[in-house]
A and B are shown apart, each in its own frame.
Chain A
Amino acid sequence: MLGFFPLFYSYLWLYLDLQVIYYSAGMLTRIPVFFLDRQFFQEHTTYPGGLGEYAAAFSAQLFYYSWSAAAVVTAHAALICFCTGRMIEALNLRRFYFARFAGPILLLVFSSQYTYHFNATTTLCIALLFICLYLRLTASNGQKKSLSSQRKDWVRTAVLFIGLSVVLYYIAGGAYLVFATFCAIRWMRLKRWGLAALCIMSALLIPYFVGVLVFSICPDKAFTESWPNSWRMDFEGVSGAAVIAPCAVLCILVVVLSLYRLRLGKAKITPGRRTARGNKSGRNSVTVSGRGDRAAFRWAVDSAILIALAGIAAVLSFNGSRRKLFRIHYYACRKMWPQVLGTAGRDANNHFAINAVNRALYNMGRLGDEMFAYPQHPDALLLSGQDKVLKYWHKFDTQLDLGLVNLAQKNLTECMEVYGKHPLILKRLALISMVKGNTNAARIYLNTLSKTLFDKAWARDYLAAIDADPELTGDKRIAGLRSMALKKDHPSVFMPPELAFLTLLQENSKNKMAFEYLMAWYLLGKNAEKVATNFRRINEFDVKAFPKHYQEAICIYAYSTRKPVYLEGRTIDAEVRRQIEEFSRTFNNLGRNKDAAEKHLLRDYGGTYFFYHLYGFSGVKK
């Protein structure tokens, strides 16, 4: 089964592309932040499980790259597999040796769902390592000894257990219960009832004494520190199915393999024995009676079943829609516009995806020509009406690019409260502070960023730039954003998109993005008249083209009202004229019955504004 982990790693790295989890902060689980800072470390020493969380926070940063993200998950999986194998051996349950792969498959399932429980996994790994250490140090306890040496052993084992328990509880918090439970089971199987009782008592008392009395943690919290349901954790949007599905898969795995083993595994299995080097051997120490080819056959069957089950679990748990959203978000954050459109395709109905698609189309100069070739919804254009939904941080970039700097700032500071000091948030807040000329705040954000692993260079560059020129007059990006930013204050509880775009254009008629978004807003609102009347603003820009959707809207307006529209020296394309005439003819021929006409119009005019104007949704070309 040596091939399992290379396959595991390759799947995670090359197919799942787990780095999107790092960029998905706010959408699924909280991605722990990590700072190279003594204070940050010290904070993690003040409560049980803190050091485990510190390690988890570090490992979370490695999700910055896809290959390292896959390496982290594979390392966790391999560690769990190895330690679980040791535990199974120690319990003399080699019939269930395959169960050591349950943990890795569970991680595979979680990864396929694009979620990862950093703290729980890391602290569990630490607890399992402690179990292995304890097994190593108490390996001789299972052997028959004299009464006096048994007593000595008892004391030594008990002291060792208590010592390791305290240290483990301090490092890994609630994961300590795994350690205590396993030790209790082990001693029970060895009929060492006193030690088993000690383990059970410790499971109750150590969290209480260390957690409650030493660290003053609330009793009900003391047992769940670092667990997925710990009060310190915040899991956003993980559905019950995300937990139930992998558990169900694992149950099936255990049942199927148990049956398989019970039926076919008639080979005599002996517990691990001492090798010449004195080590308790693992798989290699198992002796299987019968011929070697039979063992090889069984190994092959085992491997095939394992890989098949892992594959089934991965396929069943794979969340393609989430992956698509995460990738759109990832590309949008990095301004990789063709990739945004390529990933979104023509069927991304999610408002956040639509928002990213529109921004990509704008940046590629295609918003007025192609926006209805993609799913659309008026609420998705600015997403300012859903302030409580702080996910999908790329939407704040849209606000920032438009010039709605304060709106972006408000949303991002709320994001920081909810999701913590994630570098993606801090970078944007630093940028906003610099755009607003608030260098004191910018320094605070940049100083914080300079303690991160991957954004410190960016932060230090800007800190140096501020030192050299506090106004940052030479920075083109800052200057560009400043030129777009609203200057005049318009206090309100909520600024409707139309008002926002008009205000932006009133202050800066050269704000092309605000113009295109205003037109898009009118198009989405089926307000062809406003499109026609605001079209004159296009002269502010050095644009010769006449975007297709504007032409379509103006045609609709002109045909329906019979009023002339001044086209600023441009002409409606013959193709657009032909389309509206044929569109009208088809619709009229079908008795102006929208339902009856939909199929025909969708086929020929799905990506036009004519279709959207009639039906209220994009007839997306698939």
Chain B
Amino acid sequence: MKNKYLYFSLLPAALTATVMIYLLRTGVQGPPRTIEQFSLVARPPRIRPDYAGIVIPANIAPPNFMVAEDGLQYCVRIHAKKGKQVEVNSRSAKILIPTGRWSRLLKANRGQQLSFDILVRDKTGRWNRYEPIKNTIASEDIDDYLVYRRIHPAYGAWKKIGIYQRDLRTFDESMILDSRYFSEGCLNCHAFCNNKTDKMLIGIRSSDYGSSALLIRDSKVEKIGTKFGYTSWHPSGRLAVYSVNRVAQFFHSAAGEVRDVIDLNSLLACYMIDSEEVKTVPAFSKKDRLETYPAWSADGKYLYFCSAPMTWSSYEIIPPNYNQIKYDLMRISYNIEKDKWGELETVLSSVDTGLSILLPRISPDAQWLIFCMCDYGCFPVYRKNSDLYIMDLKAAEQTRRYQYRRLDINSDKSESWHSFSSNSRWIAFSSKRDSDPFTRTYLAYIDDKGHIHKPFVLPQKDPTHYDACLWTYSLPELVIEPVAITKEKLGRVVRGAAKIPADLPLTRATPQVGTNAAKHWYTERE
């Protein structure tokens, strides 16, 4: 009998707990109401994150936000030409938009305007209606997934480094691989072929398991016995070009950004996927040049990369003229059928720009080349003045002149790590605006004229997420599908002994990589 009473008492407790969990999950919202009388405020409301005047994809999770206006109650009405208005009533300034209704509204109004009417009830009990926030729903969707590296601003100890994927349609974030799956190590660049995840490469550095690269092909994972730096897949998926960098880290005693890095030596190498062979090409593995940041053109006929003169002989000491190193943008033609490389061309010279040109990325439609430029060096994330620039490649092919312009979306902080969506209409990039030294992922729409619209920070379920977020998000890559391989499987392969041997030809200038895993302390960068 006693037990029966126990069960009976457990039942209401469980019900209460369920209700509380539901309320916690959904947020305590005020009752929907019809607001007949209100005063007009002749300005748009302040909201954060700033989701005003943006172009948004129809397949993105709701941009939950905080209304930065004092009030007792808040009412937000989101409406467009077609479909049912979404209304959110809240007693707090935190506006959590229901995902399902938001999604339906956006999908019914592709290419249309989307308005946010915001009403705030002030302390006197009067409702104030602000000027509506007007956004536009793009006709083209963004890729459904975003893959990024999530780290702390310092990560030299290799403690919490993870590659994560975010379903942009929802707020679901899942881990692809975490450094703790291989006794703490470094997870570096992740590279996809044609915005798909069936072919993927991840660079690994581990004190226990050595340096390697994980090659994912379809559902098969293999370990290549060398670490890949910045990597670019040929669109055919038959080869990948990667950089080999001898990185040295140093520190600024008074600058805003403490950390800095330099490539004391670097080159590019090709990994032939089918023959499991590493090749070097004299044109981009020169002894007197530093080559890095490979990027294939959309048709696979050109490899773009960055290159700077190497004016020192020691691979151990930071050269005194470290702040004079500037990279040029180069390209070289390639015939994949004949496996033949053409002549090297200078696309853009740092002498002409006065800045170091880095991180070239080409849109899948072959139209746009976006790159970073900063005052010196090879790592724009650490340079406050790093900005994004765009070049119309198709126009350049016709005029034979490589003209570029600085994008309007730049801030006074570092912009970097940009990537295109598969339809070339969206870019994701890292920026330190409003959050230096923490990088956040921003998304922006590119119209057919190459105009990039106002960027917006990746929406989070909790709109205050970034206010206390001590993570830094780097290398955002847009992909059309999730990475299907489990972290357990990837971890097992990293830990496993089996690997594809991949040594650089000994004739090359650059020292072997993979031997300095124990000296990782000063060789890190985001």
Specify which of B24, B259, B435, B488 is in contact with A410 (CB 8 Å cutoff).
B259
A563 at the interface (CB under 8 A from B): no
Complex alpha-carbon distance, A500 and B254, angstroms: 12
Q: Are A440 and B435 in contact (CB under 8 A)?
A: yes
Q: Give the number of residue pairs across the A-B interface with Cβ within 8 Å.
A: 121
A392 to chain B minimum Cβ distance, whole angstroms, is: 16
Q: Are A413 and B154 in contact (CB under 8 A)?
A: yes
Interface of chain A residues 210 through 238 with chain B (CB within 8 A): 216, 218-219, 231-232, 234
Interface of chain B residues 113 through 152 with chain A (CB within 8 A): 151-152
Interface size class of B (residues with CB under 8 A): 35 or more
Complex alpha-carbon distance, A390 and B521, angstroms: 13
Specify which of B181, B435, B521 is in contact with A441 (CB 8 Å cutoff).
B435
Q: Mark A378-403, 1 if CB is under 8 A from B, else 0.
A: 00000000011010000000000000
Measured CB to CB, the nearest residue on chain A to B492 is A218
Complex alpha-carbon distance, A502 and B3, angstroms: 77
Measured CB to CB, the nearest residue on chain B to A448 is B468
Q: Are A406 and B258 in contact (CB under 8 A)?
A: yes
Q: Are A492 and B251 in contact (CB under 8 A)?
A: yes
B491 at the interface (CB under 8 A from A): yes
Q: Are A492 and B159 in contact (CB under 8 A)?
A: no
Complex alpha-carbon distance, A485 and B256, angstroms: 12
Q: Mark B482-523, 1 if CB is under 8 A from A, else 0.
A: 000011100100000000000000000000000000000110
Complex alpha-carbon distance, A440 and B248, angstroms: 29
Q: Are A416 and B470 in contact (CB under 8 A)?
A: yes
A409 at the interface (CB under 8 A from B): yes
A404 at the interface (CB under 8 A from B): yes
Known: A387-B521, A417-B152, A441-B438. A488 touches B470 (CB 8 A): no
Complex alpha-carbon distance, A396 and B415, angstroms: 31
**Chain A residues within 8 Å of B467, by CB:** 443-444, 447
Specify which of B154, B253, B434, B486 is in contact with A440 (CB 8 Å cutoff).
B434
**Chain B residues within 8 Å of A443, by CB:** 467
Known: A216-B486, A410-B259, A451-B468. A440 touches B436 (CB 8 A): yes
Complex alpha-carbon distance, A486 and B322, angstroms: 21
Known: A413-B154, A417-B154, A417-B159. A444 touches B255 (CB 8 A): no
Measured CB to CB, the nearest residue on chain B to A212 is B488
Complex alpha-carbon distance, A137 and B249, angstroms: 62
**Chain A residues within 8 Å of B220, by CB:** none
**Chain B residues within 8 Å of A451, by CB:** 468
**Chain B residues within 8 Å of A493, by CB:** 248-251, 318, 522
B207 to chain A minimum Cβ distance, whole angstroms, is: 12
Complex alpha-carbon distance, A431 and B371, angstroms: 35
B418 to chain A minimum Cβ distance, whole angstroms, is: 22
Measured CB to CB, the nearest residue on chain B to A436 is B256
Q: Are A388 and B521 in contact (CB under 8 A)?
A: yes
B71 to chain A minimum Cβ distance, whole angstroms, is: 18
B24 to chain A minimum Cβ distance, whole angstroms, is: 6
Q: Are B253 and A414 in contact (CB under 8 A)?
A: no
Known: A406-B252, A491-B253. A414 touches B154 (CB 8 A): yes
**Chain B residues within 8 Å of A436, by CB:** 256
Known: A417-B155, A436-B256, A447-B467. A491 touches B250 (CB 8 A): yes
**Chain B residues within 8 Å of A234, by CB:** 159
A544 at the interface (CB under 8 A from B): no
**Chain B residues within 8 Å of A219, by CB:** 488
Interface of chain A residues 23 through 44 with chain B (CB within 8 A): 37-39
**Chain B residues within 8 Å of A410, by CB:** 154, 251, 258-259
Complex alpha-carbon distance, A488 and B255, angstroms: 8
A511 to chain B minimum Cβ distance, whole angstroms, is: 14
Q: Mark A416-446, 1 if CB is under 8 A from B, else 0.
A: 1110010000000000000010101101110
**Chain B residues within 8 Å of A178, by CB:** none
Interface of chain A residues 89 through 129 with chain B (CB within 8 A): none
B469 at the interface (CB under 8 A from A): yes
Interface size class of A (residues with CB under 8 A): 35 or more
Known: A440-B435, A491-B318, A493-B250. A413 touches B152 (CB 8 A): yes
**Chain A residues within 8 Å of B466, by CB:** 444
B462 at the interface (CB under 8 A from A): yes
Q: Are B154 and A218 in contact (CB under 8 A)?
A: no
**Chain B residues within 8 Å of A440, by CB:** 434-436
Q: Are A485 and B254 in contact (CB under 8 A)?
A: yes
A300 at the interface (CB under 8 A from B): no
Q: Are A489 and B253 in contact (CB under 8 A)?
A: yes
Specify which of A38, A388, A450, A495 is in contact with B253 (CB 8 Å cutoff).
A495
Q: Mark B173-190, 1 if CB is under 8 A from A, else 0.
A: 000000011000000000
Measured CB to CB, the nearest residue on chain A to B160 is A417
A290 at the interface (CB under 8 A from B): no
Q: Are B253 and A444 in contact (CB under 8 A)?
A: no
Interface of chain A residues 295 through 315 with chain B (CB within 8 A): none
B522 to chain A minimum Cβ distance, whole angstroms, is: 6
A487 at the interface (CB under 8 A from B): yes
B47 to chain A minimum Cβ distance, whole angstroms, is: 17
B157 at the interface (CB under 8 A from A): yes
Specify which of B157, B252, B488 is in contact with A417 (CB 8 Å cutoff).
B157
Specify which of B156, B180, B251 is in contact with A407 (CB 8 Å cutoff).
B251
Q: Are A38 and B468 in contact (CB under 8 A)?
A: no
A570 at the interface (CB under 8 A from B): no
Q: Are B251 and A406 in contact (CB under 8 A)?
A: yes
**Chain B residues within 8 Å of A489, by CB:** 252-255
Complex alpha-carbon distance, A16 and B99, angstroms: 53
**Chain B residues within 8 Å of A278, by CB:** 2
Specify which of A38, A418, A488 is in contact with B462 (CB 8 Å cutoff).
A38
Q: Are B2 and A444 in contact (CB under 8 A)?
A: no
Measured CB to CB, the nearest residue on chain B to A218 is B488
Interface centre among B6, B160, B254, B521 (most CB of A within 10 A): B254
Complex alpha-carbon distance, A413 and B248, angstroms: 19
**Chain B residues within 8 Å of A409, by CB:** 258
Complex alpha-carbon distance, A219 and B489, angstroms: 11
**Chain A residues within 8 Å of B159, by CB:** 234, 417-418
A517 to chain B minimum Cβ distance, whole angstroms, is: 16
B303 to chain A minimum Cβ distance, whole angstroms, is: 33
Known: A416-B470, A417-B154, A503-B253. A491 touches B436 (CB 8 A): no
Q: Mark A480-502, 1 if CB is under 8 A from B, else 0.
A: 00000111111111010000100
**Chain B residues within 8 Å of A231, by CB:** 180
Complex alpha-carbon distance, A404 and B155, angstroms: 21
Q: Are A444 and B252 in contact (CB under 8 A)?
A: no
**Chain B residues within 8 Å of A503, by CB:** 253
Complex alpha-carbon distance, A500 and B487, angstroms: 45
Complex alpha-carbon distance, A503 and B254, angstroms: 11
Complex alpha-carbon distance, A37 and B64, angstroms: 17
B300 at the interface (CB under 8 A from A): no
Q: Are B468 and A444 in contact (CB under 8 A)?
A: yes
Complex alpha-carbon distance, A137 and B470, angstroms: 46
Interface of chain A residues 444 through 484 with chain B (CB within 8 A): 444-445, 447-448, 450-451
Complex alpha-carbon distance, A503 and B469, angstroms: 35
Known: A137-B3, A444-B468. A414 touches B157 (CB 8 A): yes
Specify which of B160, B254, B438, B470 is in contact with A487 (CB 8 Å cutoff).
B254
**Chain B residues within 8 Å of A490, by CB:** 252-254
Complex alpha-carbon distance, A211 and B156, angstroms: 31
**Chain A residues within 8 Å of B2, by CB:** 278
Complex alpha-carbon distance, A493 and B259, angstroms: 10
B44 at the interface (CB under 8 A from A): no
Interface of chain A residues 324 through 375 with chain B (CB within 8 A): none
Known: A216-B486, A491-B250. A444 touches B521 (CB 8 A): no
- A–B pairs, 12, beta carbons within 8 Å: A37-B468, A216-B488, A218-B181, A218-B491, A231-B180, A410-B259, A416-B153, A443-B467, A444-B470, A447-B468, A490-B253, A491-B260
Name the 9 nearest CB pairs between A and B, nearest first.
A413-B154, A447-B468, A448-B468, A489-B254, A417-B152, A218-B488, A414-B154, A486-B254, A490-B253
**B interface residue numbers (CB < 8 A to A):** 2-3, 6, 24, 151-157, 159-160, 180-181, 248-256, 258-260, 318, 322, 434-438, 462, 464-470, 486-488, 491, 521-522
